[in-house]
Amino acid sequence: MDKGKPAPNNDVNLRKFIERIDTVKENPNADPTVKSAVSEHRKREQIKSMSTPVIWTQEELYERKVVFTGMRQRKVLNAFREVRTRLLQKSKSDNVVVLVSSIAESGGGTFVAFNLAATFALDRQKTALYVDCNPYQSSAERYTATPVEQGLTQYLHDYTVPLKRIIYPSGIERLRVIPSGTSSESAAELFNSKRMEVFISEVKSRYPDRFIVLDAPSVGTSTEARILSQYCDHALLVVPFGKTTTDDVLSGIDAVGRDRFSGLMFNHQ
């Protein structure tokens, strides 16, 4: 070996290796194991590049009622982990869209939706996106680490608003937030538009292994949850303790569709 020649740089070699794979990625005869390894490396690099300007302290997480590893209410965290496991078992891909809606008004849908996203973000190999789809009772600003300027309704109204303009960091690593935007009486029409369909497709493809939670208005008092259900892989319904009947629950299941309905979560908060 030539001692005057510097040792090869591993990072440079890896980049060159990936470049070679790129030239044959469309080749059906390419080694699937190698292609899979390169794909996994890219996923990790994309996830590592997600900056988080502010990380919430444990006190701030408790204040916002957000689950985290090491929290005192261990049963609550484990309940969300169990839901995460079951949803992954039911899913056919790494990019999953879950609709969360409460059976009754103020039934805790937002609490469940954000914490479900936070639970997925605990996995260092995955990212999560919480989308506030309730412009009537928006609560996303409490979950963002930077000031909110624009949100989903502005993006759906105005084709000149880029997607990156409405995605905000939360105080949790690997978890992003899209606020609902300004209150809109035409939310049902906006959610039923081609623009909304494009939006869902774009957020799913933005990062690999992305778990997306749509926080919808109450399925019992609005039409938005029924409309949004067409974009989801799974629908979870939150049942507030002592506020609903069996008929209310069955109506909610019919509204989101029995083929997408994935379970009930009972909220005692």
3-class secondary structure, 47: helix
Measured CA to CA, the distance from residue 159 to residue 194 in angstroms comes to 11
For residues 34 and 22, is the Cβ–Cβ distance under 8 A?
Answer: no
Cα distance between residue 28 and residue 155, in whole Å: 38
pLDDT digits (tens, 9 = 90+) for 7-43: 455 555 555 544 554 554 455 565 555 444 444 444 4
Task: Identify the CA nearest to 152 among candidates 49, 264, 231, 65.
Answer: 231
**Per-residue pLDDT tens for 173-185?**
999 999 999 876 7
CATH class given for the domain over 58-267? alpha beta
Res 194 pLDDT > 50: yes
| Residue 51 CB neighbours (<10 A) | 7
Domain ranges within the chain, ordered by starting residue: 10-48, 58-267
Strands 175-178 and 168-169: antiparallel
- pLDDT > 90: percent of the chain: 64
Helix/strand/coil percent split, the chain, to 5 = 45, 15, 40
Mutual angle of helices 32-48 and 10-22, in 10-degree steps = 120
Residue 154 has pLDDT above 90, yes or no: yes
